[in-house]
Structure 1
Amino acid sequence: MDRLGSLNTFVQAAELRNFTSAGRRLGISSSAVGKTIARLEERLGVRLFVRSTRSVTLTAEGQAFLERCRRIFAEIEAAEAEMAQSNGVPAGRLRVSMPLTGMLLTPAISAFAVAHPNIELDIDFSDRLVDIVEEGFDVVLRTGAAADSTLMTRVLGTYSYVIVASPDYLARAGTPTEPEGLLSHACLHHRWSTTGKLEGWRLKRDGAYLDLALPTTLICSTIEPLIEMAERGLGFTAMPVFAVRRQLDEGRLVSVLDRYLDDVGTFRMMWPAGRQLLPRVRAFVNFMGEHLFAEIRQG
């Protein structure tokens, strides 16, 4: 078991190319990762990593050893899958990548954790485009179109957008009745961390999108601060409706220009094709398919 533990430490360090990140994932210190790797290299009699102050890279021997270790852990996962299928209880560690907006959907995730106590959830919230196979994710949840044809995909549902501001801001600055009215207001924007571009406010009139140079009063790479700042009266922001459902219901935010917004986003689950779907992955995909879209609609 000690050997399996050291092999797992090596795999995490090799895939992340960073001892600190590997330690964080494993719940140990970076120095503990380094000592484990050093003992492993001594036992094998080869150097697995080339380490510098800025980077960690695999040697040729390390790359070959990584491929062998991946096959070993794949066999262990397959054995676990067979046992899980035999007793009908999904179990084991499930690595999931979710967009930052996924943090607003924690009720569905929490419900899954309660329904499947034998599954160990390891969730990475990030808007970056992850390599599902290379980084060892079992499944990812993403918005937008599916860009990788090598992945299996399940659409969970669609959601609409709203432009919102606080009642205090509207009382102070006025309520625009046409999209062009936003040009004289404070506008709070979301910037995609993956591209560095601002997320557009897709306003339409007579079926055509409007090209408006909206003020960039404030820009943020995550949406939660934008929602709070809109609540505090700093200006307008455009959000998925599920992200601000509670604030709208409680009157802390008010939507405007609804008739000029008919754009929709898509939530989808993706997982690697061509491999046996582990019971814990199937359980997560099916559960989210049944519950997540309801969560989006209800907020």
Structure 2
Amino acid sequence: MDRLGSLNAFVQAAEARSFTVAGHRLGVTSSAIGKAVARLEGRLGVRLLHRSTRTITLTPEGALFLERCRRIFGEVDAAEMELAQTQGAPRGKLRVSLPLAGMLMMPTLSAFMRAYPEVELDLDFTDRLVDVIDEGFDAVVRAGEISDSRLMARRLGTFSLVLVGSPDYFARKGIPRKPSDLKNHACLQHRFATNGKFERWPLRRDRKDIELPSTAAVNTIEPLIYMAQQGLGIACLPSFAIRDQLEQGSLVTVLDSHVHHSGVFRILWPSSRYLSPKLRGFVDFMVQNLFASEKGPKGRGDHRRVATAERNGRHT
């Protein structure tokens, strides 16, 4: 048991690059972590970590040993999970990272909490690219392609970006017929929190990019939805986030034939042969429910009604 404890202290220190953080994770002092690693190095006869006043780094031997230790603990976890699957309902803490737009997934997450009351969700909302394994997440939800071979993934569903505004806004300002018309409209921009850049609107352009005006810029989706509904301008939004607004007609789409975008949401988790009941339950629930009612952008009827009125020389 002492040998396993030393191995665990080394893994935690190596992944956190800090004795202090490793100590917090294991509930011991940083000094205890340092001594455990030193004993391990003495027993192996090799230095595993370079220490400095600010950080610790792996030696080449330490990097090789870390991978082997991860496999050892992976086998231990797999054995425990295999037994746990015979022990009934999912329970325990589940740490999940979601994008900032994940706040719009709260109805599905709330439904999961009602379905699995013994699972404690620890949710982290960020657009930062987290390291699932090194930062200790059980699962992450992300859009886009994934290239980390250490992770397993399942597809949650697809979504598209659409340009929307309120019927009142288009009645006052007119409907853009082509992308260049957006220069004369109030554009509500999404700014990425991670790099401060505007999200590019997925418009088919003839020859060159259009420099869109910025009436407002925010780093989360919810304010853009609100401002668009209030008739303050046109926003580029994911279809799943405005499903209800499009269905109810408080938002309508424009420039549909000029917009081309298709995105994929996936749920990812550290690779292993066995999933714990809580993680398996969460993955299955998200796959089955997150995009269950997504049938593509709605509100096209309202858009057609507004567009027809515009062609007839009047606005509704």
Offset, 1:96: 0.7
Q: Who is 2:292 aligned against?
A: 294
Q: Who is 2:172 aligned against?
A: 172
Q: Who is 1:125 aligned against?
A: 125
| 1:17-74 Cα deviation digits (max 9, x unpaired) | 99xx99xx99xxxxxx9x9879999xxxxxxxx9x9xx9989xxxxxxxx9xx99997
Conserved? CA contact 1:161–1:241, under 8 Å:
yes
Pick aligned residue for 1:218 from 216, 219, 230: 216
Distance 1:157 1:121 in 2: 22
Give the aligned length.
Answer: 285
Distance change (3 Å), C-alpha of 1:236 and 1:271: same
Query: Which letter does structure 1 place at the counterpart of 2:269?
Result: W
Offset, 1:126: 0.9
Distance 1:209 1:146 in 2: 31
Distance change (3 Å), C-alpha of 1:56 and 1:123: farther
Distance 1:148 1:100 in 2: 21
Q: Secondary structure at the match of 2:290?
A: helix
Distance change (3 Å), C-alpha of 1:116 and 1:75: farther
Distance 1:75 1:271 in 2: 16
Q: Secondary structure at the match of 2:160?
A: strand
Pick aligned residue for 1:252 from 244, 250, 261: 250
Q: Who is 1:280 aligned against?
A: 278
Q: Secondary structure at the match of 1:290?
A: helix
Offset, 1:171: 2.1
Distance 1:223 1:183 in 2: 22
Offset, 1:210: 6.2
Q: Who is 1:84 aligned against?
A: 84
Q: Who is 1:237 aligned against?
A: 235
Q: Who is 1:95 aligned against?
A: 95
| 5+ long unaligned stretches in structure 2 | 1-10, 35-50, 58-66, 298-316
Larger radius of gyration: 2
Q: Secondary structure at the match of 2:192?
A: coil
Q: Who is 2:139 aligned against?
A: 139
Q: Secondary structure at the match of 1:188?
A: strand
Q: Who is 1:3 aligned against?
A: none
Q: Who is 1:61 aligned against?
A: none
Distance 2:207 2:287 in 1: 31
| 5+ long unaligned stretches in structure 1 | 1-10, 27-32, 42-49, 59-66
| 1:148-175 Cα deviation digits (max 9, x unpaired) | 2332121122111211112222222211
Distance change (3 Å), C-alpha of 1:15 and 1:221: farther
Q: Who is 1:6 aligned against?
A: none
TM-score, normalised via structure 1 length: 0.73
Query: Which letter does structure 2 place at the counterpart of 1:291?
Result: N
Q: Secondary structure at the match of 1:130?
A: coil
Conserved? CA contact 2:156–2:267, under 8 Å:
yes
Conserved? CA contact 1:105–1:295, under 8 Å:
no
Conserved? CA contact 1:203–1:209, under 8 Å:
no
TM-score, normalised via structure 2 length: 0.70
Q: Who is 1:46 aligned against?
A: none
Deviating above 3 A after TM superposition, structure 1's stretches of 4 or more consecutive aligned residues are 11-18, 35-41, 55-58, 70-80, 295-299
Q: Who is 2:193 aligned against?
A: 193
Distance 1:286 1:71 in 2: 26
Distance 1:93 1:180 in 2: 50
Distance 2:294 2:29 in 1: 44
Conserved? CA contact 1:204–1:210, under 8 Å:
no
Superposition pairs for residues 27-42 of structure 1, below 5 Å?
Answer: none
Give RMSD over aligned pairs: 4.3
